[in-house]
Amino acid sequence: MNNRFEHKVALVTGGGSGIGQNTAVKFAAEGAYVIILDMDINSANQTKSTIEAAGGQAEVFECNVAKQQQVNDIVDTISKDREIDILINNAGIAHVGNIEGTTEEDLDRVYNVNVKGCYNLMHAVVAKMKANKSGVILNLASIASSVGIEDRFAYSMSKGAVLTMTYSVARDYIEHGIRCNCIAPGRVHTPFVDNFLDKNYPENRDEMFDKLSKSQPIGRMGKVDEIAALISYLCSDEAAFITGSNFPIDGGFVTLNN
Ligand code: NAD
């Protein structure tokens, strides 16, 4: 077992499912004490059980990352006993639609989780990392942060903000020993994608799954463990020279689709 996160505390939002779940399990296997914040407490508890069954340590909090007071209260509670070394802003929601198909309510919902949620966690944690003169923040951006994806108006808005918030925090806290990076996955096969297909393409789900897979030049979707491996590297001391960077992990989507 690689113990790169021994004695480290890693907070993962959305650790109950998909990329966050796999990342939480991987970090625990690599020695971290993992704290999961998720709206879905049952899923978060399942991740905790998986971690503990493998001999790791985890704690869960039911939390809507869009609610600043909830986030602040939880971070204060955690900070009584532990210093948060690593923050992984992973919780996120999807929305399909161009600007005409995006209501004010849709825009606010996506903003509140994907943008404000990311802000809320960084806002709560940065001062504490600053006091410790060290910390690592990893945000989940997307291919939609930097290229136009059909029918993803609100989602693209939110992930563009995640990318630029990453640059801003990396710039402002470099002197305080805090590294901040993001990754930009292409389509990754998670419940996020399955739910999206079930909801939006119930009639031609398999056809759409195939289409989404082939939209990556490499011919398939990403796997959660491939994403977790990049997150683990970027949060480790091996990546000590990396800050203010965005890492595509997209099967060639952004640069080879021509
Ligand atoms: P997922 O839907 O499988 O899991 C998301 C988790 O976040 C769930 O456990 C859910 O309960 C939790 N969550 C949602 N809203 C929350 C809130 N308000 N507060 C707390 N927890 C909340 O998603 P995933 O596919 O693993 O995606 C994780 C992240 O990666 C998201 O930010 C997503 O935008 C990003 N991403 C995913 C893909 C992909 O293809 N799956 C591609 C690029 C980026």
CB 65 near ligand 1, within 6 Å: yes
Which of 11, 118, 190 to probe ligand 1 with, by most ligand atoms within 8 A of CB? 190
Q: Is residue 210 part of a domain?
A: yes
pLDDT value of residue 2? 80
Indicate which residues carry an active-site annotation: 155
Structure tokens, 40: 């879905």
pLDDT at 173 > cutoff 90: yes
* pLDDT per position as a tens digit, 186-235: 999 998 889 888 988 899 999 999 999 999 999 999 999 999 999 999 99
What value does the mean pLDDT take over residues 93-112? 97
Total domains present in the chain: 2
> Does any domain span residue 2?
no
* Beta carbon of 66 within 6 Å of any ligand 1 atom: yes
Percent of the chain at pLDDT > 90 equals 95
27 and 130 share one domain: yes
Same domain, 146 and 82: yes
Q: Cα(221) to centroid of ligand 1, in Å?
A: 16
Q: In what order do the strands lie in the sheet with 9-13?
A: 57-62, 33-38, 9-13, 86-89, 135-140, 178-185, 246-249
Let me know whether 42 and 87 are in one domain.
Answer: yes
Q: What are 60's two structure tokens?
A: 């869960």
If asked whether residues 131 and 233 sit together in one domain, one would say yes
Distance CA 106, CA 94 (A): 10
Q: Is 192's C-beta closer than 6 angstroms to any atom of ligand 1?
A: yes
Q: Which domain holds residue 204?
A: 188-221
* Same domain (yes/no): 232, 168: yes
pLDDT tens profile 48-76: 999 999 999 999 999 999 999 999 999 99
Token readout for 63 is: 């939390």
Give distance in angstroms: CA of 178 to centre of ligand 1.
Answer: 24
21 shares a domain with 121 = yes
Q: Model confidence over 3-34: pLDDT tens digits?
A: 999 999 999 999 999 999 999 999 999 999 99
Do 214 and 163 lie in one domain? The reply is: no
Whether 106 maps to a domain, the answer reads: yes
Same domain, 86 and 213: no
Q: 254 in a domain, yes or no?
A: no
Q: Are 13 and 118 part of one and the same domain? A: yes
Examine the domain organization and report whether 84 and 159 are in the same domain: yes
Same domain, 97 and 139: yes
Question: What CATH number does residue 240 fall under?
Answer: 3.40.50.720
Residue 157 neighbours by CB under 8 Å, 6+ apart: 107, 110, 111
Same domain? For 193 and 138 the reply is no
- Closest atom of ligand 1 to 65 CA is 19
